[in-house]
A = this chain, B = another copy of it.
Amino acid sequence: MPKTSNLPAPAAEESRETFDSGLDFDPLTRRLGYVVRRAQIAIFQSFFQTMSVAQISPAQYSALVIIARNPGLSQTRVAEALAIKKANFVALARELEQRGFVERRAIPGDKRSLALHLTPAGKLAYSELDRLSEEHEAKLREAIGIEAYEALFAPLVRLAKVNSGEASPPDQDPD
């Protein structure tokens, strides 16, 4: 077992943590977008490693979660939930269907929509994916400590909603 270093977090003060390569990253380490992007890339790489046995991408996994927890949604609704354009969700849904994880059922009321459900095989795969992804979370927790880990979610979710309402800055020139 790797030693659980629960030292009181580095505290960030004046010696702000930076990236390797010994260069001056100064303003960048204070640009949240840059730091979040670098973290996201690293986390996805780590995710691919942990999930490699399951051959599942982050996007596929997120779609399976939404379908598993909200059975019967239409493709458009699932795409909206994931903030994916419905046109781009077609290939993703088809892939999941061809792998036998997802079924598209015709709906009585509306002949245009297709209701998405997990197949029995999909449910089985999903429970394994849930276990693997939780294993991945554990790796991330160990990397940064449980308090820091837990503290990240709320602010990041709020950041994800930045822009949600606003569209036009101070001075707009309509026309």
Contacts and interface: CB of A to CB of B under 8 A. Distances in A.
B160 A19 contact: yes
Contact of A20 (B4, B35, B42, B164): B164
Interface in A3-50: 4-6, 8-12, 16-21, 23-47, 49-50
Contact of A137 (B32, B47, B147): B32
A130 interface: yes
Nearest to A12: B154
A146 to B, nearest CB: 5
A148 interface: yes
Interface string A137-161: 1111001111111111111111111
Contact of A21 (B4, B80, B162): B80
Contact of A160 (B42, B49, B83): B42
A65 interface: yes
A62 interface: yes
Contact of A149 (B69, B155, B163): B155
Given A30-B137, A42-B163, A169-B49, A157 B35 contact: yes
Interface of A: 2, 4-6, 8-12, 16-21, 23-47, 49-50, 58, 62, 65-66, 69-70, 73, 77, 80-81, 83, 130, 133-134, 136-140, 143-164, 169
